[in-house]
Structure 1
Amino acid sequence: MKSTYTISAAILAAVCASSAYAEVESLDPIKLTTHDWTGQIVNTFIMGEVLKKAGYNIEYVQADYIAQFAGLKTGDLHVAMEIWETTGREAMDEATATGNVVNVGESGMMAVEEWWYPSYMEEVCPGLPNWEALNDCAQEFATPETAPLGRYLGGPVTWGGFDDERVEALGMDFEVVHAGTDAALFAELESAYQRKAPIVLWLYDPHWAPTKYEGSFVEFPAYSSECYSDPSVGINPSAAYDCGKPTGPIWKVAWSGVADKWPGAAAAIEAFTISNADVGSLVAKVDLEGVSIEDVVAEWMAANEATWSTWIN
C-alpha cells in the first residue's frame, strides 16, 4: 500500500503541475529587472514569486536603473517594477513614446527623494531647512576631501537625480560625492548620526531611514517640469535643474510584447500594489535585522495570500 500511495502521489503532483503550467500562455522566462536598492529587489521578488505561483517561468536580471530601458525596448528585458517619478520620468517617457515600452500603472507607492540632514545640524545651521541657509552653512558640511566646499553625499551615479546639475545651477558651495551603493549610503548616515557628525545626503521614501532618524528634507525652490527642461524658468535664467526634485508615483513598466505573449502575467503586474509603509517595514527587516530578501518575501507571501491571490485570479 505504501508503494502504491507513493506512485499515486507522484502522478497527482505531475498532473497538478501540468495543469498549472497549462494555464500559462508561454513557458519562456519573463525577465524582471533588479537594481541596487533593497526595496526594489524586494518588490520585484514579490512580483516574481507571485507569477511563479501562477505557473510562469521567472528570471531575475540585474540591470542599471536607467540603461535598462534599452533592453525593455528590444524585449531582451520584460518588466521593471519601480520607475520613480522623481528620477526616472524622463527615461520612462522617452521609452514609452517609442511604443516598445508601456506604462503598466502605479505601484501604490509614492516617491520622495531629496537632500536630507539630521535635526542636530540645525544647531550649527539655524536657517535650515531652507536651501539658501544650507548654502550659507556649506563650510559646516565640509570634509577634509571637499573643504572649503561642503560635501553632499548623493546616491549611486546610476540613480540619476541631477544633483550635480542642481549644485551648479543654484551656485551652491557644495561638492557632490556619490556613494558606491545603497548600503554604503546608509552605513555612512548611521555612522554620522551616532557621532552627531555633519552630513547632508540623498534620502528617499519608501524606506526605513526617515522613520529611524530624526531630520528634515532640504526645501529647494518648488519643482516644475519646465524647471528641468527650460533654462529660462527658475531662479537661474541660464540653467535648468535650479529647483527641487519632483515627487509622485512609483510606476511599473514593461516591454510592450508582455501583454501579447503573457496576458495573464501582464494583468497580474498591473494589479500589483503595495504601500510605502509595507515596503519600509520589509526593507528594515533586510537592512537592519539581517533577514534575507528571500525569507522576507516568503514571510510576506504567507501573510498576504488573500491579497496577492487576487492578482493572478
Structure 2
Amino acid sequence: MKTLTLGLAAASLAGTAMAADMGAVDEPIKLAVNEWTGQHITTHIAGEMLKQAGYQVEYVTAGYMNMYQAMSDGEIHAAVEIWSSNVSDDYAVKVEDGGIVELGDLELAAKEGIAYPAHVADMCPGLPAWEALKECAQNFATAETIPQGRLVDYPADWGTPGADRMTGLELPFKAVPAGSEGALIAELRASTERQTPLLITFWQPHWAMSAYDVQFVDLPVGEEACFNDPAWGPNPNAVNDCDFSPTRIFKAAWAGMEEKWPAAHEILSNYTLSVDAQQPMMGEVDVDGKPVEEVVAAWMAENEQVWRPVVDAATE
C-alpha cells in the first residue's frame, strides 16, 4: 500500500549520505497529542518511527489551541498535525519570538467547511448552495435556538469557525459548540439514523465523511481579503463571509529540538502522511473500536518499506 508520497521517499533516500547525529537518546522526546482521532494516529506513527530510530518517546495530552507556550518552553517538543485554518494566534507569536520552528507540510490533503448528511438536501431545497440556508433555517431549529436554526460547531477550544461564517454571511443560525469530536460524530450518526436535519462544522479527512455521506455547503471561495476586508464578498459589512481558507496541515517543533535530537528533527521534517493512509485507520479506531496503538502497529508492520527509508536516511 502506497501511503506516503513518492517525493518523501525520494527525498529521504537522497539524504542517506547525510545522516544526522542522534543526540540525547537518554531523554524522551515529547509529542503533543490533541483532541481528534486523526491527530492521534499521525502522532503515534511519528512516535513509532522515532522509537525505531532509537529514541524514547512520550505522548503528552495537550490542548490544541493552547499548547504553543509549552512547546516554546521545551516542555513539549513537537506537534505533527497543525491545521492552518484553525490555529491560535499564539502559534504565530511563538514562531516570531523564536521558540517554535516549522518542520514542513504533513501533506495531508484536507478541507474544512459547513456540512450536512446527504439526506438533509431534501429538507433544504437548493443545497449545496449556501443561499438555500436563508430560506430553510427553521427546519434546523431546536428548543435552544428557535427561531434560528442550529449549527453544531467545533468544540469551544477549537475556535468558532462555524459561528464566524453564520455571522459573516448573515445566516439565521445559532452556532452551538459540540463537547468533543465524539459529540460531532454522535450528531452525524443520530441525524443519519433518524433522517433528521443537521448542519455541522466538519472536516476531511475523516472516516465519517464516507460513513454518513457528508456533503459540504458551497460557500464563496475563501481568500485573504474575505478575512480582513468587510467590503469583500456578499456581505459588505462583515468579514468571514466566505468558505474556510484553503487548509495547510503542517508540523512544528520546539526550537531547541534540532540541536538536542538532530536525527529526530530530520525524521519529523521528512515525515508525511496521506489521506489514503490516515482515513482507514481512523475508521478502525472510531468505528471498530480498536486502540490507536494497535492500529498504528499494524500499519507500521505492513508499510515498513515506506517509513523505514525515512528513519534510515536520518540515522545511517
Q: Under a length normalisation based on structure 2, what TM-score does the superposition of the two structures give?
A: 0.87
Amino acid across the alignment from 2:308: S
* CA–CA distance in structure 1, aligned partners of residues 23 and 195 of structure 2: 55
Deviation of the 1:161 alpha carbon: 4.7
The answer as to whether partners of 1:141 and 1:150 remain within 8 angstroms in 2 is yes
Secondary structure (helix, strand or coil) at the match of 1:108 reads coil
Partner of 2:119: 120
Q: Alpha-carbon deviation of 1:235?
A: 2.7
* Matched-pair contact (CA < 8 Å) for 2:70–2:76: yes
> Separation in 1 of the partners of 2:225 and 2:89?
12
Question: Counterpart in 1 of 2:233?
Answer: 234
Shift of 1:145: 2.0
Amino acid across the alignment from 1:25: A
1:137 and 2:136 aligned: yes
- The CA deviation string for residues 36-64 of structure 1, in whole angstroms up to 9 with x for no partner, is 11110111011111111212121111111
RMSD, aligned CA = 1.7
CA shift for structure 1 position 302:
0.8
Q: Give the direction of change, closer, same or farther, for the CA distance of 1:102–1:274 in structure 2 (3 Å limit).
A: same
Alignment-derived partner of residue 270 in structure 2: 271
Structure number with greater Rg is 1
> Which residues in structure 2 correspond to 1:1-313 (within 5 Å)?
23-88=22-87, 92-313=91-312
1:161–1:245 CA contact under 8 A, matched in 2: no
Q: Secondary structure at the match of 1:82?
A: strand
Q: Is the 8 A contact 1:24 1:56 kept in 2?
A: no
Deviations 1:120-164 (A, max 9, x none): 222221111111111221011111221111010112112225222
Structure 1 residue 187: Cα displacement: 1.4
Residues 95, 292 of structure 1: alpha-carbon distance in 2 compared, 3 angstrom cutoff? same
Structure with greater contact order relative to length (CA < 8 Å, sep ≥ 6): 2
Greater Cα offset, 221-230 or 173-182: 221-230
Out of 89-98 and 121-130, give the one that drifted further: 89-98
CA distance in 2, matches of 1:258, 1:231: 41
Instruction: Report Cα offsets for 1:226-270 as digits up to 9, x if no partner.
Output: 212333333333322121112233101111111111110000001
Return 5+ residue gaps in structure 1 as ranges: 1-21
Question: Which amino acid in structure 1 is aligned with residue 284 of structure 2?
Answer: K
**Structure 1 CA distance for aligned equivalents of residues 88 and 274 of structure 2:** 20
Runs of 5+ consecutive residues of structure 2 not aligned to the other structure: 1-20
Asked if the contact 2:154/2:162 (under 8 Å) is kept, the reply is: no
Q: Is the 8 A contact 1:107 1:273 kept in 2?
A: yes
Q: How many Å apart are 1:169 and its aligned residue?
A: 2.2
Residue identity over aligned pairs, in percent, reads 38
Counterpart CA distance in 2 for 1:62 and 1:232 is: 41
